[in-house]
Amino acid sequence: MIVTADKTLKKLWQKGCDFLGCEHAILGGAMTWVSNASLVASISNAGGFGVVACGAMTPDILDAEITKTKTLTNKPFGVNLITLHPMLHDLIDVVGKHKIGHVVLAGGLPTNESIERIKSYGCKVIGFAPALIIAKKLQRSNVDAIVIEGAEAGGHIGPVSTSVLAQEILPHIRDIPVFVAGGIGRGEAIVSYLQMGAAGCQLGTRFVCANESPAHANFKKAFIRGNARDAIASVQLDPRFPVIPVRALVNQASKRFAECQAEIIARFDRGEVELKDGQLEIEHFWAGALRRAVMDGDIENGSIMAGQSVGMVTKEQPTKEIIDELIEQAHNYICEQNQRFG
């Protein structure tokens, strides 16, 4: 039965595997400060597809990170670039120099110029689509694949759940691979999205507590203790002061953020601060907060970005073991389906 299940799984995600050049169409979500050379290489070495999180890196730092990753794996891996980075074109040139096969563009709609610059190096471009209309626009812009990420994900999120996005987008985008992300922590969920038409899935939260993850021990312990209800999206108190929602484990900093907003709103209403200055204060509240949590282990004053699948993270374990578990769960689920439906 397992042999049959393995053949079924390979057939389901063949499109994604062929596109990424890996054994399992499991993308590692690019998590700033977490998705470094060690974790990325371990995902690729285990048959998945690791993705370096560039974040706010300068070109020279990204160059060094890619170089280090290459010393740890000879398997394909990608690089995630933020579209709003002030040095985006220089970062693209670094990726091109290293002949990286895939670039994931996140943080907003990429320009046609950026897409063309990446493709001029022979790289494949993967874009993020939070709605069908954006997915179609990206396809017209000649991206090679799309990731749809639901609100269950960790970090910056959109308003729509993964299951709804999958129903909205998968039936209509068939010409290019579509990878599903957000709240995925087990192999059964991977299979279900593949059966709906996905080429593969992206997982981030599940890999935070991998042995090869550079996250501080305190950060990992917070994940292991956490459950789905602890991973809350940040709240916007006033539409005059817009806040991009960030899903993270609740801590003292989360509570202070709400208090900070309330204080600034009150000062604005009293005429003590200009709207623009107040907005800037709110935006700066989280400056450096992720690094404080991930690297320094300050899990009270930092930002513990986590998806709602955090409850499925129960221990620290090798990346290969995590991926092997996902594959075993997928196989067992397919076997159960075969027994149930013949």
**Per the domain annotation, does 340 fall within a domain?**
no
Separation between Cα atoms, residue 78 and residue 49, nearest integer Å: 7
pLDDT at 1: 66
My answer on whether 30 and 79 are in the same domain is yes
My answer on whether 192 and 43 are in the same domain is yes
- Residue 122: both structure tokens together: 């022979």
**Per the domain annotation, does 19 fall within a domain?**
yes
**Per the domain annotation, does 83 fall within a domain?**
yes
* Owning domain of residue 258: 227-305
Q: Which residues does residue 51 pair with via DSSP β-bridges, in sequence order?
A: 78
CB 90 within 8 A of CB 109: no
Task: Provide the domain count of the chain.
Answer: 2
Number of neighbours of residue 76 by Cβ within 10 angstroms: 14
CA dihedral angle for residue 91, residue 178, residue 233, residue 319, rounded to 10 degrees: -70
**Per the domain annotation, does 221 fall within a domain?**
no
**Per the domain annotation, does 220 fall within a domain?**
no
My answer on whether 101 and 141 are in the same domain is yes
**Per the domain annotation, does 159 fall within a domain?**
yes
**Per the domain annotation, does 222 fall within a domain?**
no
pLDDT at 306: 98
Of 190, 212, 180, 192, the closest CA to residue 312 belongs to: 190
Taken in order 147, 150, 151, 152, the sign of the CA dihedral is negative
Residues in contact with 210: Cβ distance below 8 Å, sequence separation at least 6, in sequence order: 39, 42, 316, 317, 318, 319, 322
Of 143, 150, 137, the closest CA to residue 180 belongs to: 150
My answer on whether 238 and 179 are in the same domain is no
My answer on whether 36 and 140 are in the same domain is yes
- Domain of 104, CATH number, reads 3.20.20.70
Ranges of beta strands (E only) in the chain are: 26-28, 51-53, 78-82, 102-106, 124-128, 145-149, 155-156, 178-181, 200-203, 231-233, 246-249, 304-305
How far from 109 is each of 102, 114, 115, 146, 155, CA to CA, in Å?
17, 10, 10, 12, 18
CB 38 within 8 A of CB 10: no
My answer on whether 240 and 204 are in the same domain is no
My answer on whether 55 and 111 are in the same domain is yes
Rg, C-alpha atoms of the chain: 20
Tell me the three-class secondary structure of 80-106, residue by residue: EEECCCCCHHHHHHHHHHCCCCEEEEE
My answer on whether 121 and 240 are in the same domain is no
- Residue 102: both structure tokens together: 């895939």
Separation between Cα atoms, residue 55 and residue 128, nearest integer Å: 15
* Helices (H), ranges, 270-318: 275-284, 289-294
My answer on whether 43 and 166 are in the same domain is yes
My answer on whether 167 and 290 are in the same domain is no
**Per the domain annotation, does 341 fall within a domain?**
no
- Residue 41: both structure tokens together: 């290489």
How far from 158 is each of 137, 182, 307, CA to CA, in Å?
17, 10, 12
My answer on whether 299 and 324 are in the same domain is no
My answer on whether 169 and 91 are in the same domain is yes
CB 244 within 8 A of CB 194: no
Instruction: Give, for all 342 residues of the chain, the pLDDT tens digit.
Output: 677 999 999 999 999 999 999 999 999 999 999 999 999 999 999 999 999 999 999 999 999 999 999 999 999 999 999 999 999 999 999 999 999 999 999 998 999 999 999 999 999 999 999 999 999 999 999 999 999 999 999 999 999 999 999 999 999 999 999 999 999 999 999 999 999 999 999 999 999 999 999 999 999 999 999 999 999 999 899 999 998 899 999 999 998 999 999 999 999 999 999 999 999 899 888 879 999 999 999 999 999 999 999 999 999 999 999 999 999 999 999 999 988 886
pLDDT at 283: 84
